Amino acid sequence: MEIVAPYLLPQVTTNMTTLSVGNDTWIETGGSQHSQANCRSIPMFGPQGFHDMFSWASDPAVSEYVGQRSVAGRSCTQWRLRASSSIINETLCADGDIPVELNISMKSSAGGVTKETHASYQFDPLSTEVDSSLLEKPYICDHVAPPCENGRGVGPLTLDAYVFHPGLSAIDYSIEDQNVADLRGDALFICFDLLSNQSSFADHNYSLISRYSLQLSPAFGQYAACNGYPDTKPKGPVCIGGDTRLAGKEAPFFGGEGESRCADESPLGFWYSLPKAGHCPPGQAPSTTASESGCTWSIIKRAKTIHQTCLIKDHNFLASCKADFAQKDFARSSAALSAAFESEDFSKGGCPDIGGPDSKEDVASFVV
């Protein structure tokens, strides 16, 4: 199944193709051309393997007949999922055993905001003969994406990186095998979490937000999704789907061609993955040959750490998120996050620095 659609902003397109065969699932993202696309097997996206998305319509216990209709000049019979409710509604129009159109609508509510999501799929006439090559594992799934060509032979860049993390012990300040983001990318992450009524950071005892000054090789590799800490449940960190040495990069939610991995700018900001194997020893920085070997990222310093309640509760960050999602520009939430770290003056949106481990490298090299 291929989904090509704008995500959050009209100028940012997410391209995702999912292939499920037997008990295996591969997900291609970032472009219709193999030269741009990345491939992963990501268990967090749900059960892996083939799932018949139409089988419910043939079961009278869960489906009901709605009537006849025409879709793009094709006559079909409309069925509705009995489990449909005010939250989710699903219908299938089929010509006998041939699906013609599938419609799924969902509603979610959080923070006083109701969000509606609609997905509609129309299917071309199907054939009983299927090209077997379409069901073969894509060759790009045998390896991660290569380093960005525009980053080869180039020295490190400096990044102000933001990260949510627990504060249970000193090791929770480690950013090895973790995801970080630039200002806009982290503002978007927090907003998305709040507005979709998720609690991912709360589930992991996330209570702090830190800003680090980093050096990264611009020869970025494939982004890895990382979760967990040594003292959280489930225990981590665990990174999936990315390069194990190169620092990874993507526009949020796989946005843009090649997930915007090698792009200089993204209206949604960027997310980064920091593999432990790519962490430079203290006092070293990535070299111009980092695309081929050696370390790929280093810590200059941890600039500041704040408690999340100062930003989210005391400065009513949710209001900025609601306005940004309505206006689709994310300027307000980015400004609010920036202000929280720029000063400790509450009247200016600032938050106090609660401190952390003294050394900039002491917690990043723990053996876990």
DSSP string, 193-208: HHHTT--HHHHTTEEE
Tell which wins on pLDDT, 49 or 117: 117
Spatial strand order in the sheet of 88-95: 63-71, 74-81, 88-95, 98-110, 113-122
pLDDT of residue 37: 84
Percent of the chain's residues with pLDDT above 70? 88
Place of tokens 């996050």: 337
The DSSP letter of residue 342 is H
Cα–Cα distance for residue pair 211/181, rounded to 1 Å? 10
Which 3 state secondary structure label does DSSP give 183?
helix
pLDDT at 165 over 70: yes
Residue 329 pLDDT grade (very low, low, confident, very high; cuts 50, 70, 90): confident
301 forms beta bridges with 213
pLDDT at 34 over 60: no
pLDDT at 361 over 70: no
| CA 277 to chain CA mean position, Å | 22
pLDDT of residue 155: 97
pLDDT at 81 over 60: yes
Mean pLDDT of 153-174: 94
Q: Which of 26-30, 80-84, 288-292, 324-328 has the lowest mean pLDDT?
A: 80-84
Mean pLDDT of 173-180: 96
Alpha-carbon radius of gyration of the chain: 23
Tokens of 186: 């982290």
Render pLDDT for 88-117 as a digit per residue (tens, 0 to 9): 889 999 999 899 999 999 876 655 556 677
Mean pLDDT of 156-162: 98
pLDDT of residue 48: 58
pLDDT at 36 over 80: no
Residue 278: other Cβ atoms inside 10 A = 25
Tell which wins on pLDDT, 134 or 181: 181
Consecutive H or E run containing 242: none
pLDDT of residue 45: 53
pLDDT at 131 over 60: yes
pLDDT of residue 153: 97
Tokens of 245: 């040495």
Spatial strand order in the sheet of 38-40: 2-7, 9-21, 24-29, 38-40
Place of tokens 């071309």: 124
pLDDT of residue 197: 62
pLDDT of residue 214: 98
Render pLDDT for 212-223 as a digit per residue (tens, 0 to 9): 999 999 999 999
Which 3 state secondary structure label does DSSP give 185?
helix
pLDDT at 367 over 80: no
